[in-house]
Amino acid sequence: MKKRTFVAMLSAVAIVAGMVSCNSSTTNQSPDLSDQSSILEQPVAESNSHTTAITSNNSFDEAIANNEKVVLVDFWASWCGPCKMIAPNVEAIAAEMRDKVVVFKVDVDQPFVAETGLLQRYNIEAIPCLILFRNGKEISRNVGYMEKEELGTWLGKNVN
């Protein structure tokens, strides 16, 4: 099995685990990732980040519609191992391509995401999910972990 396929499957399992926890009568607890490799302990975004967090449906709609650059939206969650693994790659690409691409991050566990049906609106079934928008319209998407070079190639095909 290819590494990318395995990571995508792992993402799907993590999402299902999160949904079961959210829908059960027990308290909503995220899976414990503390025993995982050190890459999972890295923050998703640092203070000197080249990415911007989206915290409301209005800011999401404005971000993708009112932008001269191509918009990359990273749908992620703090409990998602592959999301934490891809975060440094997204950050690096955001810095390298800041003249062509603006990068936003949406934490799928934020209340506005569920309240507005954002995941359903964009058919997001697994994370990390990276979606490229141009003039408010989706032009490409990629689900699962990608190495930095692979991410750069994917963006290069869609940005010019």
What does the H/E/C string look like for the chain? CCHHHHHHHHHHHHHHHHHHHHHCCCCCCCCCCCCCCHHHHCCCCCCCCCEEECCCHHHHHHHHHCCCCEEEEEEECCCCHHHHHHHHHHHHHHHHCCCCEEEEEEECCCHHHHHHCHHHHCCCCCCCEEEEEECCEEEEEEECCCCHHHHHHHHHHHHC
Q: What is the pLDDT of residues 39-50, one digit of tens each?
A: 333 334 444 567
Q: Which residues are catalytic?
A: 80, 83
**CATH topology classification for 3-25+44-159:** Glutaredoxin (3.40.30)
Task: Look up the pTM and report it.
Answer: 0.69
Q: What is the pLDDT of residue 53?
A: 85
Q: What is the pLDDT of residues 91-127, one digit of tens each?
A: 998 899 989 999 999 999 999 899 889 999 999 999 9
